[in-house]
Structure 1
Amino acid sequence: MSNSNKTSSADLNSIKTGWVLTILVVIGLVIVGFYFFNFNSHILKNEGLWKVFQNLSADTGNWGTFGDYVGGILNPVIAAFAFYLIAKTYELQKRELEATRSLLEVSTDAQKNQIKLAALTALLNSNLMKIDMLNSERINLHETVEKNQLRRVTADEEEKTAILDQNSNHLTHLEITVKNIKEYNCDVARLEEQINDLLKKP
Structure 2
Amino acid sequence: MSKQSNNLEVEEFKTIEWKIKISLFIGFALICIVLITYFSNFHGYLSKNDSTWGTFGDFIGGTLNPILAALGFYWLTASIRLQLKELRDTREVLKETAIHQEKLAELENINVETQKKLFEIQQLTLEKQIIASKSQQEQISLQNFENIFFSC
Q: TM-score, normalised by structure 1?
A: 0.50
Q: Distance in 2 between matches of 1:34 and 1:59?
A: 20
Matching of residues 72-111 of structure 1 within 5 Å: 72-111=62-101
SS at match of 1:113: helix
Tell me which of 59, 80, 89 is aligned to 1:69: 59
Does residue 37 (structure 1) correspond to residue 27 (structure 2)? The answer is no
SS at match of 2:42: helix
Question: After TM superposition, what 4+ stretches of structure 1 lie above 3 angstroms from structure 2?
Answer: 1-13, 124-134
Preserved contact between residue 32 and residue 70 of structure 1 (Cα < 8 Å):
yes
**AA aligned opposite 2:90:** T
SS at match of 1:58: coil
Matching of residues 131-170 of structure 1 within 5 Å: 133=124
Tell me which of 21, 30, 38 is aligned to 1:27: 30
Unpaired runs of at least 5, structure 1: 41-51, 138-202
State the percentage of identical aligned residues: 32
Structure 1 residues 25, 36: closer, same or farther in 2, change over 3 A?
A: same
Q: Give the aligned partner of residue 197 of structure 1.
A: none
Return the offset for 1:2: 7.3
Preserved contact between residue 20 and residue 81 of structure 1 (Cα < 8 Å):
yes
Return the offset for 1:57: 2.6
Q: Deviations over 1:89-132 (max 9, x none)?
A: 11111111111111111111111111111212333344456678
Matching of residues 48-59 of structure 1 within 5 Å: 53=45, 56-59=46-49
Pick the structure with greater CA Rg.
1
Q: Distance in 1 between matches of 2:58 and 2:2?
A: 51
Q: Distance in 1 between matches of 2:2 and 2:32?
A: 43
* Aligned pairs, number: 124
Return the offset for 1:33: 1.8
Return the structure number with greater relative CO, CA threshold 8 A, min gap 6: 1
Q: TM-score, normalised by structure 2?
A: 0.64
Q: Give the aligned partner of residue 171 of structure 1.
A: none
Unpaired runs of at least 5, structure 2: 129-152
Cα root mean square deviation, aligned: 3.3
